[in-house]
Amino acid sequence: MKKILIYSPIISNRLTYSCNIVFNHILKCEYQLTDSMPDFDTDSFIVNYSHEPQKDSFHILPFGLLEQKGVKIQDIKTGEYNGIVTIFSSETGDMPFDIFSAVFYMVSRYEEYLPFVPDQHGRFRAEDGIAYKHKFHNIPIVDLWVKKLSELIEIPFPYDNYKFQLTIDVDCPWKYKGQSLFRTFLRMGKMLSTGHFKDFSEAFAVLSGRKPDPWFTFDYLDTIEKQLKNPIQYFILFGQKRPHDTAPSIHKKDFKKLVNRLGTKQKIGIHPSYASYASVKELEKEYYSMSYIIKNKIQRSRQHYLKMKFPETFRNLIRLGIRQEFSMGWVSQVGFRAGIARSFPFYDLEKEKETHLILVPFFAMDRSMKDYMNIDRTKAREELMILVNRVKEVSGQFCMLWHNDSISDAGEWKGWREIFEEMVKYAEPD
């Protein structure tokens, strides 16, 4: 395989990061950046990333984004190339758009640093993103751009790296158990006073030991895990009980037992609470409490409610020693928030540097389909199969998010376990 030599008169951290994504993380090939005009008699394949075309080189016209510092609203021209939507389009060059700027814009989440109108929980809405507006939010567009580049510069695209990662968020392990005696009496009294006699009967049966708690699905998940090449990753909410945080007390014996059970297999990550989003002190408390219980350092994280702010959320996690972050996915849609179907390093746009924190994107969440998109199980199955197929086509890693209660096959989730099982089987590599 020929070595890739990329000439650019300006080598910025942004350009280096974009090239790392394209050549290291996706194409898995070596490359070299140079700001000196290369010898065109070399055996290397030369990519000319400048405003001046050169003979015997592959020319990509720079938009200018990678030479800038800071963030500002960009005048982004969209286009189409062989049926694929492009951004930062140009009319000259051997590729009709600046692929390096396009990759950087999507993967760095540049648009999420700009001012935006948040949803009710302070989150960036999928519907406000460039991908949704131009109808490529459910396509691994970055991988497709790179795949097209690989064809043009005759570099083989790696097709043997598809993986599947199942993740489970545990906001509360039990529907009825795990609460204080006072809260239990209060809740059951409310069931009676509001006429929810069926719920009262179920709660009484669970609390008296005559019936298992419907949300405690971890034994079932152990049987599912035996079918998988990669272990299930769990993210457990550890925050103090508040309106949006429903975890049991960390002092509860059964809760500690569950955390230890999952933690001994290195399958556990922290699920920073809703409150910790605005409090570094609260985040640290949750992190060290979980670390103390499992007697090990926590290396994985996913934000509760997927609340995150660029770059503060990720800086806080880096300071704690988190190595992998799993929040990169949409709440209100399924699809590719960063446009890419594989893990990638976080780029801090304010500090203008690539970090060692690896972002692991997910592409579908149970509640996104049921509550936000309002689709039934049949449509959910179709959407998930399309996403899996698209990830397989670019040899990415398909990651999906479920909750321990959504696979209970009970209550509002009646019938969804069947979809879960079908998709685990469909997404698992042969």
Position 241 scores a pLDDT of 75
pLDDT digits (tens, 9 = 90+) for 357-391: 999 999 999 999 999 999 999 999 999 999 999 99
Average pLDDT over residues 70-74: 96
Position 409 scores a pLDDT of 96
Q: How far apart are CA 158 and CA 125, in angstroms?
A: 33
**Helix/strand/coil (H/E/C) assignment for every residue in 201-240:** HHHHHHHCCCCCCCCCCHHHHHHHHCCCCCCCEEEEECCC
Instruction: List the single range of 42-51, 390-399, 410-419 with lowest mean pLDDT.
Output: 42-51
The model's pTM is: 0.94
Asked if the structure places residue 203 within a domain, the reply is: no
Position 252 scores a pLDDT of 87
Average pLDDT over residues 257-262: 92
Has residue 272 got a pLDDT over 90? yes
Q: Are residues 407 and 264 in the same domain?
A: yes
Q: Return the higher-pLDDT residue of 184 and 128.
A: 128
Report the candidate in 342, 337, 423 with the shortest Cα–Cα distance to residue 386: 423
Q: What is the percentage of the chain residues whose pLDDT exceeds 90?
A: 79
Average pLDDT over residues 153-167: 94
Position 197 scores a pLDDT of 65
CATH number at residue 349: 3.20.20.370
Strand segments (E) across 280-376: 300-301, 324-325, 344-348, 353-359, 364-365
Which position has the token pair 């800038």?
68
Task: Count the domains in the chain.
Answer: 2
Q: Are residues 47 and 168 in the same domain?
A: no
SS3 381: helix
Position 406 scores a pLDDT of 98
Amino acid at 14: R
Asked if the structure places residue 186 within a domain, the reply is: no
Has residue 278 got a pLDDT over 70? yes
Asked if the structure places residue 35 within a domain, the reply is: yes
Q: How far apart are CA 96 and CA 107, in angstroms?
A: 20
Q: What is the percentage of the chain residues whose pLDDT exceeds 70?
A: 93
Q: Are residues 115 and 170 in the same domain?
A: no
Give 208's pLDDT tier (boundaries 50, 70, 90): confident
Q: Are residues 230 and 117 in the same domain?
A: no
Q: Are residues 141 and 228 in the same domain?
A: no
Asked if the structure places residue 183 within a domain, the reply is: no
Give 249's pLDDT tier (boundaries 50, 70, 90): confident
Instruction: Name residues whose C-beta falls within 8 Å of residue 207's C-beta, 6 or more positions apart in sequence.
Output: 176, 177, 184
Q: Are residues 144 and 238 in the same domain?
A: no
Instruction: List the single range of 100-109, 275-284, 385-394, 397-406 with lowest mean pLDDT.
Output: 275-284
Instruction: List the single range of 60-74, 193-207, 352-366 with lowest mean pLDDT.
Output: 193-207
Question: b/e string for 376-404 if b means 16 or more Cβ within 10 A?
Answer: eeeebbebbeebbebbbebbbbbbbbbbb
Position 267 scores a pLDDT of 82
Q: What is the mean pLDDT of the chain?
A: 92
Position 191 scores a pLDDT of 63
Q: Are residues 331 and 220 in the same domain?
A: yes
Asked if the structure places residue 201 within a domain, the reply is: no
Give 157's pLDDT tier (boundaries 50, 70, 90): very high
Position 251 scores a pLDDT of 83
Asked if the structure places residue 51 within a domain, the reply is: yes
What is the domain range of residue 395? 163-175+213-427
Position 120 scores a pLDDT of 96
Q: Are residues 308 and 229 in the same domain?
A: yes
Instruction: Name residues whose C-beta falls within 8 Å of residue 68's C-beta, 6 or more positions apart in sequence.
Output: 14
Asked if the structure places residue 202 within a domain, the reply is: no
Give 183's pLDDT tier (boundaries 50, 70, 90): low
SS3 398: strand
Q: How far apart are CA 404 and CA 410, in angstroms?
A: 11
Q: Are residues 145 and 230 in the same domain?
A: no
Has residue 43 got a pLDDT over 90? no
Has residue 163 got a pLDDT over 70? yes
Q: How far apart are CA 298 and CA 321, in angstroms?
A: 8
Give 195's pLDDT tier (boundaries 50, 70, 90): confident
Q: Are residues 87 and 170 in the same domain?
A: no
pLDDT digits (tens, 9 = 90+) for 304-363: 999 999 999 999 999 999 999 999 999 999 999 999 999 999 999 999 999 999 999 999
Q: Are residues 245 and 131 in the same domain?
A: no
Q: Are residues 286 and 318 in the same domain?
A: yes
Give 196's pLDDT tier (boundaries 50, 70, 90): confident
Instruction: List the single range of 42-56, 133-147, 221-235, 270-284 with lowest mean pLDDT.
Output: 42-56
Asked if the structure places residue 270 within a domain, the reply is: yes
* Six-digit token string for 29: 């090939």
Handedness of CA 368, 374, 380, 384 (dihedral sign): negative
Q: Which residues pair with 339 in a beta bridge?
A: none
Instruction: List the single range of 69-83, 140-154, 229-243, 323-337 with lowest mean pLDDT.
Output: 229-243
